[in-house]
Structure 1
Amino acid sequence: MLAQGVVIHEGQILLVQQKVKRGDIVWNFPGGGVEEGENFEQACIREVLEETGYTVKIIKSLIHRKEKQTFLCELISGTLTIEDDEDILDVRWIDLNDETYFDAVSKPVVEMVLKTMEVV
């Protein structure tokens, strides 16, 4: 089971460059596996902190599937930090309009978030 956090702050989105199981290097939302005793929300908050150095608060669920949940998160505190992790290559704040970092999986999520933000 996986949990991801979509963190947007001042017109930018927080992305993690990582190696995925199939060997590709991709930009993705921070996140990872749900550990024993955790729920999806707790895993999301922990993974964002571990991978980026930021503490976040969950605002709402964006995607809710049995094995994977993606949450819109609010930045609470912290400093951008890249952990010594062989799978995490880089962490960056990316302009929401810079689509070069978004792939077929992340782009629809970003579009969903932007539509949500327009309504608010």
Structure 2
Amino acid sequence: MIFNYALGLKEVDKKMNVNYRKAIRAVVFQNGKILMVGTNKCDYKFPGGGVENDESHEETLKREVREETGYIVKDIKNRIGVITQRKMDDYDVNSVFEMVSYYYLCEISDEQTALNLDDYEAELGFYPVWIDINRAIQSNEENFKKSEDDRNSWLQRETIVLKELLKYHDTI
């Protein structure tokens, strides 16, 4: 693993309820570019999302990449990082929301199918894009200038991962 970060709340009162979510995210390099999901806010996130029911990491990764990019994951290499985010839950008063995102290096097939976006993803204008990693970092950093209400919640997490990948790209 090349990175392991904790963002947000460092300590959680043991009396508080914690709502957990596990997410699986794909890191795909091809021809000097990285596969990202762009949005209408001009930022970029890694394809991936929440584990449903009893899905394995592999099943979640394949489903989410297909839904958000149309590409089919043909090979899952190794887990290259983890980011844990903790904050006060927006929907459950006196609770903490904790999401753990697992990042896997993947290879995809050349063929692409139709996207299958959730309503909020369609509203954000999700689209797959092959982009230079420096350009993705630059766009995400530009988004930090916006008010917190005008930024996507993943901005800090994904920018940290992009910067880590930039440091280690030749070794993974």
For normalisation by structure 2, the TM-score amounts to 0.56
**Matched residue type, 1:15:** M
Q: CA deviation at 1:86?
A: 2.7
Is there any run of 5+ residues in structure 1 with no aligned partner, and where? none
Q: Which has the larger radius of gyration?
A: 2
2:131 corresponds to: 94
What do you get for the CA RMSD once the two structures are aligned? 2.6
CA distance in 1 between counterparts of 2:159 and 2:64 reads 21
Change (3 A) 1:109 1:80: farther
Change (3 A) 1:104 1:81: same
CA distance in 2 between counterparts of 1:12 and 1:81 reads 21
CA distance in 1 between counterparts of 2:139 and 2:58 reads 25
- Say how many residue pairs are matched: 116
Aligned residue for 2:119, secondary structure, equals coil
Would you say 1:76 and 2:109 are equivalent positions? yes
Q: CA deviation at 1:16?
A: 1.4
Is there any run of 5+ residues in structure 2 with no aligned partner, and where? 1-21, 85-98, 141-154
Identify the range of structure 1 (2-11 vs 64-73) with the bigger mean alpha-carbon deviation. 64-73
Change (3 A) 1:42 1:84: closer
For normalisation by structure 1, the TM-score amounts to 0.75
Aligned residue for 2:59, secondary structure, equals helix
Aligned residue for 2:28, secondary structure, equals strand
Q: CA deviation at 1:10?
A: 0.9
